[in-house]
Structure 1
Amino acid sequence: MRLVVVSAGLSVPSSTRLLADRLAAAAVGGTAARVEVVELRDLAVEIAHNLTNGFPGRALGSALDAVTAADGLIVVTPVFSASYSGLFKSFFDVLDKDAIAGKPVLIAATGGSSRHSLVLEHALRPLFAHLRAVVVPTAVYAASEDWGAEGLAERIDRAAGELAALMTGLSAAADAATGAVGAGPVPRAPVTTGTVTTGSATAGTVPAPAGTVPVQAGATPVHGVPARAASAGGFEVVPFEQQLAALRP
């Protein structure tokens, strides 16, 4: 697996890069991933040229390819004017709109004050939701006073663990799908007819559509989707939180 870290820190040394490195180290501990770091500071000129002429330079092109090919991402930005930096946003502006769709992404930020911590929720999370990435539940913000203080290490470990679980789970699912493609068609379970009921009166018996499972009367909907019968050959709607918990070591 391939984990790509995107750091938008500008100074040397950079607290943004330090947070990125700590998150990467914690995530790799739970996977067999190799890490590649993209320093946006080194790509600033090529990003500006790409915005004006539409063509990436060689270094920027390599960085964009790395992000596109990644199995998971860690993205870290400093806070500028209560939001992500312009350099950070510009990089994702020149990235193809479908490049990170479905990829697990851990979002993080650094700032001089804890008052900017909500930047993760009002700026970064909506950005990556728009790009259709899978953003891990725990985001990490590190203010100046957080370094060396209690709590930061625990947040880093929790967020990195969630990212590692998603990367491992998606990789296993992809491997299983690849194996299933070469194994030929999967036999379907026999499909029976189902009854449609209204209250206690039976409205009639209708054939069940191919590949579906009869809906039990009175089944509780989950997020607006009727619960399906948990019978032989049937399916059960499982909330995302339970699926994520099952992937954790």
Structure 2
Amino acid sequence: MTNDRRVLVHSGKPALASAVAARFITKVLDLLDEKPELHIALTGGSMGIAVLDAIRHSPASDTIAWDRLHFWWGDDRWVPGGDRERNDAQAWEALLDHVPVDSGKVHAMPASDSGLDLDEAADAYAATLREFAAGDDDHPVFDITFLGVGPDGHIASLFPHRSGIGVTDRTVIAVRQSPKPPPERLSLTRPVLNASERVWMVLAGGDKASALGLALAGASRDEVPVAGIKGRRRTVFFVDGEAAAEVPPQLIAPDY
């Protein structure tokens, strides 16, 4: 199984969100012809949510058998359930409330008002992942994992110069003293993300250009965590022109 890394450049944020939404619908329809159910990992952030909104508003969205999709999150903020800072709350507002998902297949990370402490919440989400794993695996293999990329190169809640990016013996970690507020979070670990069949990273803006350029140039994952992320089959960076400013021209794909 070969991995293919590609950088696809779009003219601006609206075009970027629309293009990723169209590719998602097409890929999901193709995969549902092959598999009874799919596992999709979602992200937050302005572009992550813009993509979900674009999927919702696509005329083709009603061609998807939404009840055959499981939804997961790469990370979330340790705040009360329903708080607008939570990635899952934003996803419900942008997409999930508007399509016929099976609520039993929407697997949100525990919230701060769940009655669990942060470490217990990490263990609980790890147990949920294990419940849907195949064979001896400890997590399902995500068919598509969406990730945003921070200006510092962080993905999910795995930050530069923090121990989280190097954790390999857990599927979910508790994050404390995050350099980006709020300070407490839950995050999937790098081995889980890298087990994904496809990793789709969506980023826009000139403040992301340096991180993207460094990642593609082979920077250390400890310095630039996104450099350590690679899907099993394919890793695609969907970017706008500003974010692509430091990408070598030979790495920009002419088409998907």
> What band does the TM-score fall into relative to the shorter chain?
0.3 to 0.5
Return the TM-score normalized by structure 1: 0.36
Which structure carries more relative contact order (alpha carbon 8 Å, separation 6+)? 2
Q: Which has the higher helix share?
A: 1
Larger radius of gyration: 1
